[in-house]
Every structure is written in C-alpha cells, then in structure tokens.
C-alpha cells in the first residue's frame, strides 16, 4: 500500500522549478534592455516630432510675409500650432512640447529651434529659406535653446 501511495504522488521537483525560474530570468534579462531602448527612442521621436510640427507652423507664418519675423513670437506660432509651447530664443526648452525658437539672418529668413527629449537629449532644427538658402537641417547638442541651434547651424551643419 505504501508503494502505491508513492507512485501516485504528483508535483514538480525542486530542480524543475529552478529551471523554470532560470528560463524566466533569462527572458526578462533579454526583454528589459530592449524595452528600455524602445522607450528612449520613443521619447526622442516625440521631441523630434514637436520640432517638425513647429517648423510647419513657422513655414506657415513665413508664407504670409516671406520672412520668419512673426515666427519668433509665441502668439503667432501658438495660433498656428496650439499643441506646442514656444520659448524665446535664449530660454531653454524644458520638455518635448516646449520649443525654444530663434529667428536670425539679415532678412529674418533663418529659423532655428530646439526641443528637449524626456531622455535628456536636446534636438535642433534649422531652416534657411533665404535666397541661396541651405534648406532644413537637423542636429543635437547640449544647450537646448533656439540661440544654440542657430549658432550650431552657422558653425557646423
């Protein structure tokens, strides 16, 4: 009778449970860095998207006057693209939807902006729409202001 009870015992051994825990640990170790990388890329894309939307708003303002004069004030840009907050050229961006804007050039035809990603990376965009202009350029940097984006564009883009 004792032999029959022993044969009927069911369950998992300690080794089997440890193997399952080990496999789960390996899967988590593989998935976690992938998830964190995807999160950082998504945060960066949010800031870049805000810059592109701000550029579209600035180009909309540009079509009215053939210069970016009105595209440096928060009132005009906010009227065109209300989902973003616009800072003056020397005021740093504090988040992906806060864009620091600068208008430069002898005829106000160079528009630059910066936005700070939640991952801590600052992204810049610059559009030179003047005669012989160089078009739109992108970059990253440490200082997250429209002034810094304009200076970087003049120096290295």
The string of pLDDT tens digits covering residues 47-98 is: 999 999 999 999 999 988 888 988 887 788 999 999 999 999 899 999 999 9
Q: Has residue 24 got a pLDDT over 90?
A: yes
- The residue behind tokens 């300690």 is 14
From 105, 143, 97, select the one nearest 124 (Cα to Cα). 143
Backbone angles phi, psi at 100, to 5 degrees: -90, 125
CA torsion angle for 78, 72, 122, 96 (degrees, to 10)? 0
Query: How far apart, in whole angstroms, are the C-alpha atoms of residue 155 and residue 157?
Result: 7
Measure the CA–CA gap between 14 and 37, rounded to whole angstroms. Answer: 35
């Amino acid at each position: 009778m004792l032999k029959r009870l022993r044969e009927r015992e069911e369950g998992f051994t300690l080794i089997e449970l440890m193997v399952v825990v080990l496999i789960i640990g390996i899967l988590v170790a593989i998935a976690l860095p992938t998830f964190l990388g995807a999160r950082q890329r998504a945060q960066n894309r949010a800031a870049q998207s805000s810059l592109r939307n701000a550029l579209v708003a600035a180009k909309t303002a540009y079509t009215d006057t053939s210069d970016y004069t009105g595209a440096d004030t928060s009132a005009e840009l906010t009227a065109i693209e209300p989902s973003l907050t616009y800072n003056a050229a020397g005021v740093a961006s504090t988040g992906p939807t806060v864009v620091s804007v600068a208008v430069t050039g002898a005829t106000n035809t160079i528009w630059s902006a910066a936005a700070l990603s939640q991952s801590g990376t600052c992204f810049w965009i610059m559009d030179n729409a003047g005669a012989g202009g160089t078009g739109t350029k992108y970059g990253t940097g440490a200082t997250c202001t429209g002034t810094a984006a304009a200076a970087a564009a003049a120096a290295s883009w």
